[in-house]
């Protein structure tokens, strides 16, 4: 299979259990390069857990999950599977950017320092001036060029989340994960974050977005996946799923959130 | 009191018309008096003055000229230097060891965790004075230190009492005891950092060391520094116990030794106290600046939460597409 055809994310019967509590049951889906996939569903449906499995913040209990052709958190040799050394797992994560619901910016660093941290530490040999120029470029891209020297506590929620997006982009990931990026924001600040994400999608970034923003899903997503109780209930073109849901469960959920 | 009406609005004609636009009048209230506070303050001040005058005039045992004579005595200044060195060296070792123990206590490995726990149990559970006596006796308990393969002839062998000076043993004794307390302080600091910080750093691809040194510890410092300041000051005074080792050149033992010759213990106690107070004061200034450094980005007031980018709502459903569902953008109040 050539590289262009390898799906960016491929999940085959991925399951996850905490003890006897199964949170993901046999999830199978594919995300192609440049595709935007929106995961929706009620809280506790497993969508955030699935997202966290993709960059190995959680480990998968069963099934296969691979990003860009290589297993997440494991290494296959013959028919044996080995756990990855933390160093290699960290290396794997550098290609995957993640944005959190609560932003999780580093409060003791300014916006530009937040963006510069990972490249400064991990891209050795790159001159500091170049790293900084690149960080400022990213901040400009999310509309925050003038706030680069502000600490997170001096920024609004929407601005913080945009810095977080810039920070995630700093390692030049090939895949971006968004875990309810607008759920912790005041309603009037949601738009500015979605706008940045929309621009990112247009630029061809592969994105998986856990969200409750159906308008965003409809406009930007290529695929909408509805999850409930740890299973994928329904997936397809977002316009189709939103306006003509096939399953009773999807219909019930959409009638509440739309 | 002026003629201004002080009754609440409503009993008078409420202001109407253009007059209502003027800002409300400031309250001119008569201050509440606190006579007993005054009495207490005067009594306390009087007692303080009496004590000072009495100490200066009526108590020859204080012997202030003697205090002045020995305050900057070379032996005393040297002793203060030793006390400061004991404090700094043992605290530096204690903090490093404390960080290691705190990380060990949070380790997923049960053996590592238990070793750290047992260390804490042992060193917090016995008096530091007893520990210092033990360190002084180390040369008796372990006569030589051998390097080699156990149960075979050692390659090199050192005589313990030649190897370690009493100063060194005093530092080790103080440091190992203090490390147990520092471990708990550091652990509290690490636990106080939001778990999302660790996740964010991990998701960026940072390894354990970078996550710890660049993200977690700098934030934990805010919680760690105030109690550590306490420990440093406490350590400064605990150094007076190293006479148990026996190391005798620090401030308290040295001034006591001088007093034993002059037969004037009280002035020498005052000399020692003044030096302890002076060093404590300097340490407190240092703590202030450290705290300010690690408060970076914390005490700032957030900007008002206003959208900074012009955005428009995105419609999830075209109007009329799903029967009975009104798109959020068409609802009263709109949506984003």
As a whole number, mean pLDDT of residues B299-303 equals 57
B109 and A CB contact within 8 Å: no
Nearest-neighbour CA in chain B from A126: distance (Å): 17
Cβ contact B208–A86 (<8 Å): yes
Query: What's the 3-state SS for B201-259?
Result: HHHCCCCHHHHHHHHHHHHHHHHHHHHHHHHHHHHHHHHHHHHHCCCCCCHHHHHHHHH
pLDDT for position B202: 96
The pLDDT of residue B8 is above 80: no
Residue A28: strand, helix, or coil:
strand
The pLDDT of residue B12 is above 60: no
* pLDDT confidence bin for A50, thresholds 50/70/90: very high
Distance in angstroms (rounded) separating the CA atoms of residues B70 and B270: 10
pLDDT for position B234: 95
Contacts 24+ apart (CB under 8 A), B138-144: B138/B164, B138/B169, B139/B164
**If you measure CA to CA, which chain A residue comes closest to B196?**
A104
pLDDT for position B301: 58
pLDDT for position A169: 96
Please state the ipTM of this predicted complex. 0.93
The pLDDT of residue B322 is above 60: no
pLDDT for position B298: 77
Highest mean pLDDT among A16-20, A166-170, A254-258, B136-140: A166-170
pLDDT for position B325: 54
Nearest Cβ partner of A153 from B219, B298, B336? B298
Cβ contact A215–B202 (<8 Å): no
Nearest Cβ partner of A215 from B210, B314, B321? B314
As a whole number, mean pLDDT of residues A41-47 equals 92
Cβ contact A258–B327 (<8 Å): yes
pLDDT for position B334: 45
Cβ contact B199–A57 (<8 Å): yes
Distance in angstroms (rounded) separating the CA atoms of residues B110 and A9: 36
Q: Delimit the domains of chain B by residue range.
A: 61-147+155-294
With a pLDDT cut of 70, the percent of chain A lying above it is 98
As a whole number, mean pLDDT of residues A221-236 equals 95
Residues 260..299 of B with a Cβ closer than 8 Å to A: which?
294, 296-299
* Contact yes or no for B324/A175 (Cβ under 8 A): no
pLDDT for position B312: 55
Q: Comparing C-alpha atoms, which of A108, A132, A137 is closest to residue A120?
A: A132
- pLDDT tens digits, B262-297: 999 999 999 999 999 999 999 999 999 998 888 887
Residues 192..231 of B with a Cβ closer than 8 Å to A: which?
194, 196-197, 199-208, 210, 214-215, 218-219
pLDDT for position A35: 96
Q: Comparing C-alpha atoms, which of B241, B245, B277 is closest to residue B256?
A: B241
The pLDDT of residue A122 is above 90: yes
Highest mean pLDDT among A173-187, B135-149, B305-319: A173-187
Residues 310..329 of B with a Cβ closer than 8 Å to A: which?
311-318, 321-322, 324-325, 327-329
The pLDDT of residue B190 is above 60: yes
**Which residues in chain B have Cβ-Cβ distances shorter than 8 Å to A211?**
none
Task: Work out the mean pLDDT of chain A and round it to a whole number.
Answer: 93
Task: Work out the mean pLDDT of chain B and round it to a whole number.
Answer: 86
pTM (two decimals): 0.81
Nearest Cβ partner of A151 from B300, B321, B324? B300
* pLDDT confidence bin for B7, thresholds 50/70/90: very low
pLDDT for position A115: 97
As a whole number, mean pLDDT of residues B133-162 equals 88
Cβ contact B298–A98 (<8 Å): no
- pLDDT tens digits, A203-212: 999 999 999 9
Residues 117..176 of B with a Cβ closer than 8 Å to A: which?
none
pLDDT for position A150: 94
Torsional sign, CA B133, B134, B140, B146: negative
* pLDDT confidence bin for B2, thresholds 50/70/90: very low
Residue A62: strand, helix, or coil:
strand
The top-level CATH class assigned to B61-147+155-294 is: mainly alpha
Q: Comparing C-alpha atoms, which of A62, A49, A47 is closest to residue A224?
A: A47
* pLDDT confidence bin for B9, thresholds 50/70/90: very low
The pLDDT of residue B309 is above 90: no
Nearest-neighbour CA in chain A from B295: distance (Å): 8
Nearest-neighbour CA in chain A from B61: distance (Å): 55
Cβ contact B196–A171 (<8 Å): no
Neighbours of A221 (CB within 10 A): 26
- pLDDT tens digits, A145-182: 999 999 999 999 999 999 999 999 999 999 999 999 99
């Amino acid at each position: 299979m050539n590289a262009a055809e390898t799906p960016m994310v491929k999940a085959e019967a991925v399951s996850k259990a905490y003890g006897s509590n199964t949170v993901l049951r046999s999830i199978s889906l594919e995300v192609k390069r440049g595709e935007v996939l929106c995961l929706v569903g009620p809280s506790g449906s497993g969508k955030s857990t699935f997202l966290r499995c993709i960059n190995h913040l959680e480990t998968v209990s069963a099934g296969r999950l691979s990003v860009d052709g290589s297993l997440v958190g494991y290494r296959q040799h013959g028919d044996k599977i080995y756990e990855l050394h933390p160093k290699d797992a960290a290396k794997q994560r550098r290609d995957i950017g993640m944005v959190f619901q609560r932003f999780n910016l580093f409060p003791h660093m300014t916006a530009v320092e937040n963006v510069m941290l990972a490249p400064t530490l991990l891209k050795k040999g790159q001159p500091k001036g170049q790293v900084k120029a690149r960080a400022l470029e990213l901040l400009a891209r999310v509309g925050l060029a003038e706030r680069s020297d502000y600490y997170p506590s001096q920024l609004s929620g929407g601005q913080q989340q945009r810095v977080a997006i810039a920070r995630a982009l700093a390692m030049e990931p090939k895949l971006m994960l968004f875990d309810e990026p607008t759920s912790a924001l005041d309603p009037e600040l949601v738009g500015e974050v979605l706008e940045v994400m929309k621009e990112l999608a247009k630029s061809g970034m592969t994105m998986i977005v856990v969200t409750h923003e159906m308008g965003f899903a409809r406009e930007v997503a290529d695929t909408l996946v509805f999850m409930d109780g740890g299973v994928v209930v329904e997936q397809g073109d977002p316009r189709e799923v939103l306006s003509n849901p096939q399953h009773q469960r999807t219909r019930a959920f959409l009638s509440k959130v739309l | 009191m002026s003629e201004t009406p002080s009754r609440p609005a409503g009993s008078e004609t409420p202001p109407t018309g253009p007059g209502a636009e003027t800002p409300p009048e400031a309250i001119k209230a008569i201050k509440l008096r606190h006579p007993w506070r005054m009495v207490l303050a005067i009594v306390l001040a009087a007692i303080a003055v009496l004590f000072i005058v009495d100490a200066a005039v009526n108590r020859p045992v204080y012997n202030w000229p003697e205090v002045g004579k020995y305050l900057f005595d070379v032996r005393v200044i040297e002793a203060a230097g030793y006390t400061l060195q004991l404090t700094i060296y043992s605290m530096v070792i204690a903090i490093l060891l404390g960080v290691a123990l705190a990380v060990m206590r949070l380790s997923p490995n049960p053996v590592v965790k238990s070793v750290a726990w047992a260390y804490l149990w042992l060193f917090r559970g016995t008096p530091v004075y007893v520990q210092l006596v033990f360190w002084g006796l180390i040369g008796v308990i372990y006569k030589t230190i051998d390097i080699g393969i156990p149960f075979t002839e050692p390659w090199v062998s050192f005589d313990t009492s030649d190897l370690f000076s009493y100063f060194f043993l005093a530092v080790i004794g103080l440091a190992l005891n203090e490390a147990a307390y520092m471990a708990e302080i550091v652990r509290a600091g690490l636990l106080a950092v939001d778990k999302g910080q660790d996740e964010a750093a991990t998701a960026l691809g940072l390894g354990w060391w970078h996550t710890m040194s660049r993200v977690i510890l700098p934030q934990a410092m805010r919680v760690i520094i105030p109690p550590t300041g306490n420990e440093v000051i406490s350590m400064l005074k605990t150094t007076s116990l190293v006479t148990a080792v026996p190391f005798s050149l620090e401030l308290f033992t040295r001034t006591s030794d001088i007093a034993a010759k002059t037969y004037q213990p009280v002035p020498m106690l005052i000399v020692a106290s003044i030096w302890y107070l002076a060093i404590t004061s300097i340490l407190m200034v240092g703590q202030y600046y450290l705290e300010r450094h690690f408060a970076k980005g914390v005490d700032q007031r957030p900007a008002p939460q206003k959208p900074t980018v012009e955005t428009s709502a995105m419609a999830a459903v075209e109007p009329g597409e799903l029967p009975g569902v009104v798109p959020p953008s068409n609802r009263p109040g709109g949506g984003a």
